[in-house]
Amino acid sequence: MMKKFNIRTFFGAAVAFGSLFLGAESVTSAPIQEFVSVNRYAVDGAVAEIISATPDGDTLIYTNADDGKVGLLDIRDPQNPRPLNNIDVSDIGEPTAVAVTPNGRYALVTVLDLAEEIADQQPGTLVFIDLARQEIAARVPLLGIGPDNLNVTPNGEKAIIAIEDEEDEDNLPGQRPGSVNFVTINYNNPAASQVNNVELDLSEVEGVNYASDPQPEYVAISKNGRTVAISLQENNAIAVLDIASEEVTRIFSAGTSVHERADIVEEDEIDFSQPLEGRREPDSIAMTADGRYIITANEGDTDLERFGDGIWSGGRGWSILDVQGNVIYDSGDSLEELAILRGQYPEGRSENRGIEIEGAAVAEFGDREFAFVASERGSFLTVYDITNVRAPELVSFLPTGKAPEGVLPLPQRNLVLTANEDDGTIDFFEAKMLWEPTIMSPRVDLPFSALSGLVPVPNNPSELYAIPDNAMQPSRIFRIAIGREGAMVEDAIMLTKDSEPANYDLEGIAIAPRGGFWLVSEGDNREGREKPNILIKANSRGEIEEEIFLPEDAAASITRFGFEGVTTSSDGEEVYVAIQRAFEGEELVRIGEYDVEEGEWRFYYYPLDTDNVGGWVGLSEISRDTDGSFLVIERDNQGGENGASNVRVKRIYRFSLRGVEEGETVEKELVADLYADNDWYEEKVEGLAVTEAGYWIVSDNDGGELFTRLLFIPR
């Protein structure tokens, strides 16, 4: 798990430096807290080995080497994947890898010739699969035997293929050196795509195992499309090439990983006490977004006795190297220790390569970068935050199906997948972005409390406006900055009416599309109080421009529990208010619609949940979502001083007014159950702010009697 926010550290920094977040880097989405399992899916056929996906992340393509097929899977619903097709390439040979072009038009599949006799082996083939038609569109002969991995440049112009030519893995070096193929893709006529073969000269590279037999294995391309790194696994080396010129820039040894502790004796007992030095011999590799660093999965693939120097095969972990070959980070013995602690250390592999880290991938989720590292023999995936490449932080340890091979992050879907070769399954994991930053003020003359409404600052998703209820007078609008470590109250706009401080019981805030704010003040017409419900228009300086009241008959039907939220139509022509509880003599609560130009009110009915335990249920907020529908908070009055044992209804619902006539009842759809899914026991969940990434929810802390809970829920 990532480090959690420490209130004492934050408070000390706030005191020492004043406004901690002023001028801080904008945060556009919540940081990942962990990755969690969503589903394990058994594919049609025997094997799922290497996986890729269409740009939208909706269709998965996987290689099934045992059956000589390429599978297509609809993964729009990760919990219920749907098979689409199996494309047979067995007449060509065995599919080894797949990658999808950035425009989503083709899946490119490398296929090796299956001739058993070395002398009979033929060059491999690059197969173009038309994804719209789900059929083979072209077969392009490659310049080399035994293609292994491939990748496609970000601009889609080239496919880059590692031609391993693994003639006989038990009798290295082979007689035919592997190479790298650059394929310039012809989208209109893929069969006419041009192939260029690039040889790899290891004769002057120190530390390689077989200088005459490069053995290219895995292809990683930088995000800017300028550089490709290729692992030469059996040589314990990495080649770096310039994509534009298709020339080798450098080749360097991956070196060795030294462990203080390992189990190197198979004796049916885990004895994690022997020192180990192992050649990294990376299999999968990946490049960071800036193109400066290479992540290596240090599997190993040679025999211990072959070199006679006592250095083992495989680094039994993962590393970060820069593109010059300098080691920036090495996991050492930490990953095998983690496997032991989780009960997933394969003791029967101790005299071989231990947990065999084989899969590696890198991706950015939100504003952070993660490395995904899979153990073939331990059958697990680990996730590390590598925002600081010199000090990666473990985020999640995730058991997988047997022998994960392919690792595929899909940030656009908030998912990461593993293809598990030995049991033919695919694991789906989801990035959990629930975030609860603590709200703080930087100084005692800027206090906050009783937040009862919330809305994003326009064009700035890292800031929110919030309003307090009548626990703070005079009324004000807070501006809150969301930073990496928490939320800081930056400022407060005081409300004034006729140049005098204004006092309301504010319960909702919305941005007026034509400028300024819409606010609502909750009324209390019990005898002796005579406070009406008011819809308020204020300018950006907090000056009250207009107060709007309910029609007399409607106002007379509300004693308490009136206006509790406000939002607008996208053009600002209508303003909508949520009324907390039903009018006198009615069973359903009302949604009020105010026509700004006509100055008229219309009402719709909303059905509340009835599974509460004691007390009442009412509306607590209304917001407009990005698609034009409306979101409301329903809550019971349990929790707080009423105790938490009866809490049930703390929910967000969606409804639409499309096709609904005045006086009709809307239909609602559950969006989030805060109590069931997020342990929300606070009574007064009262603010809901809508962003592109998800929803911010805030609690009213009863004027300082409780803490203010701020929660982010992703879409």
The predicted-structure confidence for 566-600, as pLDDT tens digits, reads as follows 999 999 999 999 999 999 999 999 999 999 999 99
Is the model's pLDDT at 271 over the cut of 70? yes
Q: Describe the chain by its helix, strand, coil percentages, rounded to 5.
A: 5, 45, 50
The CATH number linked to 559 is 2.120.10.30
Query: Is pTM, for the whole model, over 0.75?
Result: no
Cross-strand pairs, 363: 370
Is the model's pLDDT at 491 over the cut of 60? yes
Whether 673 maps to a domain, the answer reads yes
Q: How many domains does the chain have?
A: 1
Whether 579 maps to a domain, the answer reads yes
Q: How far is CA 430 from CA 78, 380, 537, 624, 695, in A?
A: 9, 15, 42, 27, 18
Strands 694-699 and 685-690: antiparallel
Element (H, E) at 377: none
**Cis preceding linkage at 55, omega within 30:** no
| Cβ within 8 Å of residue 314, ≥6 positions away | 278, 279, 280, 281, 298, 299, 300, 301, 353, 354, 356
Burial of residue 462 (CB within 10 Å: 0-12, 13-18, 19+) is buried
Looking at residue 324, what DSSP letter applies? T
Q: What is the pLDDT of residue 434?
A: 67
Whether 176 maps to a domain, the answer reads no
Whether 616 maps to a domain, the answer reads yes
Whether 63 maps to a domain, the answer reads no
Query: pLDDT confidence of 169, banded at 50, 70, 90?
Result: confident
Whether 51 maps to a domain, the answer reads no
Whether 309 maps to a domain, the answer reads no
| Cβ within 8 Å of residue 156, ≥6 positions away | 101, 102, 103, 185, 187
Is the model's pLDDT at 7 over the cut of 60? no
Whether 470 maps to a domain, the answer reads no
Dump pLDDT digits (tens) for 514-568.
999 999 999 987 777 779 999 999 999 999 999 999 999 999 888 789 999 999 9
Is the model's pLDDT at 197 over the cut of 70? yes
Q: What is the pLDDT of residue 30?
A: 52
| Cβ within 8 Å of residue 252, ≥6 positions away | 205, 237, 238, 240, 324, 325
Give the domain range for residue 644. 507-714
- Which value, to the nearest 10 degrees, does the dihedral of the CA atoms of residues 346, 350, 353, 355 take? 20
- Scan for tokens 């083939």, then name that residue: 125
